[in-house]
Amino acid sequence: MTTVPDGVTEDRAPEGVLRASINLGNPVPARGTPAAPAGVTVDIAREIGARLGVPVELVCFDAAHESYEAMTTGRPDLCFLAVEPGRQAEVAFTAPYVVIESVFAVDRGSPLTPVADVDRPGVRIGVKRGSAWVPLRPLPLPHPAARDGRARG
């Protein structure tokens, strides 16, 4: 059994229940439905609740930005997010529990292969609105047109 230092349970689960935000919009950390979520973040939340000796309430969202917004208002007690400089002003981060590598996906016959081919005028990079990838800096894309296109994605 894990010994929890005094005050930690009250700090992390002030209402006697650990409310954990689960992002169902990304299948890497979680999947399923709000009624039956599964995945690594669900497992981590349940383990933290067990170590604190409190029940866990899973609060599910369709996107990371929704999960983050709820965390800033105090709705959940625990949230799983990509570390992003803009978010660090509002929430504290632990060490990563997973490292996700990202790539560019292009059509099979595309002339765009290395990153240098993407970093030029007229090339737009699309990302899901509200994702952590939009505001991340620095990216290996020094050309302003590529950055601007990505930011509108």
Confidence (pLDDT) at 152: 39
Confidence (pLDDT) at 16: 94
> Which token pair is 71?
């965390």
Domains of the chain, earliest start first: 8-89 (3.40.190.10), 101-153 (no CATH)
pLDDT in tens, 52-109: 999 999 999 999 889 999 999 989 999 998 887 778 888 888 888 888 777 777 888 8
Single pTM value for the model: 0.71
Count of helix runs (H) and strand runs (E) in the chain:
5, 5
99: number of CA atoms within 13 Å, CB side?
2
What is the rounded distance in angstroms from the CA atom of residue 41 to the CA atom of residue 80? 7
Please determine, for residue 148, whether its predicted confidence score (pLDDT) is greater than 90: no
Indicate the pLDDT class of residue 22, thresholds 50, 70 and 90: very high
